[in-house]
């Protein structure tokens, strides 16, 4: 009797037919981007780059569709993790999580000290702006602000898809990227330092290294009043920032930062 031939293996298909189509969500969190790429800033791009390295099949594209359709019910960015609930094709929504290792207090102290020593970073952060070269400060103290690979950003989802990231995790990541666009301080929160704590620590360190200044609120009544003749400055300057360096203390501060340092980013742009 001739041997029986094995039936050819059925090709792998990325589908779960028993679950059907996704269940629509009312008042879900929908991505602002309706077409093309999601994420506009350099920091959201750095975050999504890790996700794209892990992309499996068409899951990233389907995750983008989920994000735009509002399938994510809730999302929270906490120290060490992003947690979200995503509605799929089952009646019960899935729980998705994107983790990251938080920096120890000693590491954050080193970062805050580096911020405080550089008036550009201090003035920018205290003014509510995250500089484009923020990563350089972390690198200088031996840290990486963003994950350098998949092992540093563990992900899990309660859905039956074995791939990481699945479309539910991808949807969450795209929404996180938009959150980072809106508030880059959330990146620091994800790494373990919320905005209020970071700025409070930075102010304390600036008070230690900076000159004594008067809060702006205490001098508003005479802010526009002439204070006498301008002092003599040094010789020719090679760049606009040197004008600030030669300027005597103004005796005015905002959130503990001398007014001259708040003006420095503007002078740098003029000089450029």
48-100 pLDDT, tens digit each: 988 888 766 788 999 999 999 999 999 999 999 999 999 999 999 999 999 99
* Pick from 89-98, 138-147, 157-166, 254-263: least confident: 254-263
For 72, the enclosing helix (H) or strand (E) is strand 72-78
Average pLDDT, the chain: 80
pLDDT band, residue 271 (cuts 50/70/90): low
> Do the Cβ atoms of 238 and 248 come closer than 8 Å?
no
> Do the Cβ atoms of 173 and 39 come closer than 8 Å?
no
Measured CA to CA, the distance from residue 223 to residue 215 in angstroms comes to: 12
Nearest to 261 by CA among 132, 125, 110, 114: 125
Q: Where are the domains of the chain?
A: 17-102+146-192
pLDDT band, residue 220 (cuts 50/70/90): low
Nearest to 197 by CA among 111, 136, 82: 111
State how beta strands 253-254 and 155-157 pair.
Answer: unpaired
Q: Hey, what are 168's tokens? A: 């539910």
Determine the number of helices (DSSP H) and then strands (DSSP E) in the chain.
10, 6
Res 244 pLDDT > 80? no
């Amino acid at each position: 009797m001739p041997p029986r031939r094995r039936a050819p293996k059925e090709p792998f298909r990325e589908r779960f037919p028993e679950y059907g189509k996704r269940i629509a969500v009312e008042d879900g969190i929908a991505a602002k981007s309706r077409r093309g790429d999601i994420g506009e800033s350099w920091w959201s791009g750095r975050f999504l780059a890790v996700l794209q390295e892990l992309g499996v099949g068409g899951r990233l594209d389907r995750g983008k569709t989920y994000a735009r359709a509002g399938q994510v019910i809730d999302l929270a960015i906490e120290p060490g993790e992003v947690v979200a609930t995503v509605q799929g094709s089952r009646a019960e929504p899935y729980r998705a999580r994107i983790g990251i290792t938080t920096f120890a207090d000693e590491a954050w102290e080193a970062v805050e000290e580096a911020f405080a020593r550089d008036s550009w970073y201090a003035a920018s952060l205290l003014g509510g702006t995250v500089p484009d070269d923020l990563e350089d400060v972390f690198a200088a103290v031996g840290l990486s602000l963003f994950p350098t690979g998949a092992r540093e950003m563990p992900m899990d989802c309660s859905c039956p898809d074995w791939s990481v990231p699945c479309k539910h995790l991808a949807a969450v990541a795209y929404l996180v990227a938009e959150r980072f666009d809106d508030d880059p301080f959330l990146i620091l929160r994800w790494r373990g330092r919320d905005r209020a704590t970071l700025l409070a620590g930075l102010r304390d360190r600036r008070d230690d290294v900076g000159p004594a200044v008067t809060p702006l609120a205490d001098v508003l009544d005479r802010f526009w009043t002439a204070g006498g003749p301008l002092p003599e400055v040094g010789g020719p300057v090679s760049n606009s920032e040197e004008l600030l360096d030669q300027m005597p203390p103004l005796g005015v501060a905002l959130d503990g930062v001398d007014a001259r340092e708040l003006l420095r980013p503007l002078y740098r742009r003029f000089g450029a």
